[in-house]
């Protein structure tokens, strides 16, 4: 996504330079969000996920099935399994890879969900209505569970934490999501760490076993930056390329964008590593402008959405534990929001079935607006009217 968007942005900005897009997957570049949604269910809605970009017309050379193995900053070349590729400027956009449970790679019936091939391997599981265990009640786990239930699979989700999405949202919010699993007929077992996977079963840390015809592991993703080790491009403890606010890396002429890179957010006062689609859409515009000699700062209001259990969940901004949480509406209903205030300023919003809240909050956060907490907590008042 970020690589394609960078190439497109460079052309839109008038670059006539040679552009080479290298990717290790064999498929033409495609969009990932449908992979955990419509693609799993097949049919017309899950059709073509390829980006609608004419690479020939844009004069972008696509080198598919080619893996970058190392970077030689001094020589200005990327070493690939198909030879060295020289560059004047390089944009690293290698995304992220899904974390596997140790010792389970290649085990029959065990799946990850990142690529088109992963989704294709899961289609027959849904078609056959297999009994599935999902490890991890995060975004991917919830979306896969939704599709698998729709297909008629029996689904159990096991989660080590005491609630879904424990790493990203506070208990006040996620407590209500437990009911979504119940409603969909998904058994959610929290506080249930997995010890290991065996053919046909998930073995729990407490010794219990859950039979499973298929297991889907959704326990997070890590930046795909191993190939940069020792290259002189600084990587953070999270494995992300440490980019600056112009998406430049610590190596000259090398930029980084998308799931593989973190950047300092002036707006939120901390370094952010964003693994969401909108970041891979917006970041490339800044990266491309700076590749062409511009001096643009990347300081987005992060945004993402998730479709799970018949609900449209959207989030904009960024919150920290110390921010004040306000609920807008009743979280046991189908439409409600949560707002986070930092001092008087709106820092983030989570909207469940309230896209207007999201759209208005995104603008308010973008202009660092202060809001009246009582009005912001009243779902009958448009969020924009809560601005001071
Ligand atoms: C199943 C799924 C569902 C999602 N749903 C949503 C959603 O609903 N909402 C949302 O906001 N976000 C969603 N996302 C997140 C969003 O898709 C990602 O944030 C986005 O794809 C990131 O783009 P990227 O270009 O940084 O990385 P990627 O799209 O991962 O692209 C990186 C590419 O680089 C390749 N690569 C990696 N290493 C090398 C190497 N050494 N050499 C050559 N090529 C390499 C990879 O194979 C990959 O093709 C979803 C992600 C997944 C996996």
Residue 76 forms part of a structural domain: yes
How many CB atoms sit inside 10 A of residue 142's CB?
A: 28
Q: How far is the CA of 32 from the centre of ligand 1 (A)?
A: 6
Residue 238 forms part of a structural domain: yes
Is 119 in the same domain as 161?
yes
Residue 142 forms part of a structural domain: yes
30 CB near ligand 1 (under 6 Å): no
Residue 374 forms part of a structural domain: yes
pLDDT for residue 44:
73
24 CB near ligand 1 (under 6 Å): yes
DSSP H stretches of helix in 152-190: 171-174, 178-183
- Residue after which a domain boundary falls, among 186, 217, 248: 217
pLDDT for residue 330:
95
94 CB near ligand 1 (under 6 Å): yes
Is 204 in the same domain as 108?
yes
Provide the β-strand partners of residue 60: 19
* CATH classification at residue 382: 3.30.390.30
Of the candidates 320, 314, 339, 342, which has an alpha carbon nearest to the alpha carbon of residue 328?
A: 339
Residue 56 forms part of a structural domain: no
Residue nearest atom 50 in ligand 1 by C-alpha distance: 33
Report yes or no: 141 and 157 within 8 Å, Cβ to Cβ. Answer: yes
169 CB near ligand 1 (under 6 Å): no
116 CB near ligand 1 (under 6 Å): no
Residue nearest atom 36 in ligand 1 by C-alpha distance: 94
Number of domains making up the chain: 3
Report yes or no: 338 and 388 within 8 Å, Cβ to Cβ. Answer: no
Q: What is the bridge-based pairing of β-strands 324-328 and 187-189?
A: unpaired
Is 89 in the same domain as 230?
yes
Digitized pLDDT (tens) for each residue of the chain, 388 residues in all? 999 999 999 999 999 999 999 999 999 999 999 999 999 998 777 788 999 999 999 999 999 999 999 999 999 999 999 999 999 999 999 999 999 999 898 899 999 999 999 999 999 999 999 999 999 999 999 999 999 999 999 999 999 999 999 999 999 999 899 999 999 999 999 999 999 999 899 999 999 999 999 999 999 999 999 999 999 999 999 999 999 999 999 999 999 999 999 999 999 999 999 999 999 999 999 999 999 999 999 999 999 999 999 999 999 999 999 999 999 999 999 999 999 999 999 999 999 999 999 999 999 999 999 999 999 999 999 999 999 9
What sign has the CA pseudo-torsion 102, 71, 12, 55? negative
pLDDT for residue 46:
73
Residue to probe by mutation, ligand 1, list 223, 224, 241, 305, most atoms within 8 Å of CB:
224
DSSP string, 252-317: TTEEE-GGGEEEEETTTTEEEE--SHHHHHHHHHHHHHHHTT---------EEEEEETTEEEEEEE
Q: How far is the CA of 236 from the centre of ligand 1 (A)?
A: 19
* CATH classification at residue 92: 3.50.50.60
Residue 45 forms part of a structural domain: no
Phi, psi of 25 (to 5 degrees): -80, 150
Is 332 in the same domain as 232?
no
Is 89 in the same domain as 193?
no
What DSSP designation does 46 have?
G
What sign has the CA pseudo-torsion 260, 73, 67, 281? positive
Among the atoms of ligand 1, which is closest to the Cα of residue 226?
Answer: 41
2 CB near ligand 1 (under 6 Å): yes
Is 246 in the same domain as 171?
no
Q: How far is the CA of 21 from the centre of ligand 1 (A)?
A: 15
Give the structural domain span for 193.
Answer: 100-217
Residue nearest atom 9 in ligand 1 by C-alpha distance: 305
Among the atoms of ligand 1, which is closest to the Cα of residue 303?
Answer: 11
- The 8 Å CB, 24+ separation contacts for 35-39 are 35/113, 35/114, 35/115, 35/116, 35/118, 35/119, 36/113, 36/119, 36/140, 36/143, 36/144, 36/147, 37/143, 37/146, 37/147, 37/307, 39/116, 39/119, 39/123
Is 236 in the same domain as 317?
no
Provide the β-strand partners of residue 64: 23
What is the distance between the alpha carbons of residues 18 and 5, in angstroms, rounded to a whole number?
16
Residue to probe by mutation, ligand 1, list 277, 307, 311, most atoms within 8 Å of CB:
277
């Amino acid at each position: 996504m970020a690589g394609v968007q960078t190439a497109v942005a460079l052309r839109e900005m008038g670059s006539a330079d040679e552009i080479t897009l290298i990717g290790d997957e064999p498929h033409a570049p495609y969009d990932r969000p449908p992979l955990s949604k419509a693609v799993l269910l097949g049919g017309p809605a899950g059709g073509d996920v390829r980006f609608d970009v004419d690479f020939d017309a844009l004069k972008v050379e696509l080198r598919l099935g080619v893996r970058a193995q190392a970077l030689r900053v001094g020589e200005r070349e990327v070493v690939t399994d198909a030879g060295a590729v020289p560059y004047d400027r390089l944009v690293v956009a290698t995304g992220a890879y899904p974390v596997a449970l140790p010792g389970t790679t290649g085990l029959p019936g065990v799946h990850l969900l990142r690529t088109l091939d992963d989704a294709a391997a899961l289609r027959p599981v849904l078609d056959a209505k297999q009994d599935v265990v999902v490890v991890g009640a995060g975004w991917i786990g919830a979306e896969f569970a939704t599709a698998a239930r729709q297909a008629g699979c029996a689904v159990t989700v096991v989660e080590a934490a005491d609630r879904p999405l424990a790493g990203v949202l506070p208990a006040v919010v996620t407590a209500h999501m437990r009911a979504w699993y119940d409603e969909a007929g998904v058994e959610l077992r929290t506080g249930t760490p997995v010890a290991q996977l065996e053919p046909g079963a998930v073995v729990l840390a407490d010794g219990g076993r859950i039979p499973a015809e298929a297991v889907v592991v959704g326990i997070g993703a890590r930046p795909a930056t191993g190939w940069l080790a020792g290259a002189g491009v600084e990587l953070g403890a999270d494995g992300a390329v440490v980019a600056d606010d112009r998406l430049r890396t610590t190596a000259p002429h090398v930029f980084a964008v998308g799931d593989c890179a973190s950047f300092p957010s002036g707006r939120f006062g901390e370094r952010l590593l964003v693994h969401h689609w909108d970041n891979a859409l917006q970041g490339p515009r800044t990266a491309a402008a700076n590749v062409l000699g511009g001096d643009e700062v990347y300081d987005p209001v992060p945004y993402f959405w998730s479709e799970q259990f018949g609900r449209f969940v959207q989030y904009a901004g960024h919150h920290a534990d110390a921010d004040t949480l306000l609920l807008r509406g009743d979280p046991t209903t189908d439409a409600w929001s949560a707002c986070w205030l930092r001092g008087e300023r709106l820092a983030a919003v989570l909207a469940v079935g309230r896209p207007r809240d999201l759209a208005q909050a995104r603008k308010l956060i973008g202009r660092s607006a202060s809001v009246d907490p009582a009005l912001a907590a009243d779902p009958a008042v448009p969020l924009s009217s809560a601005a001071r």
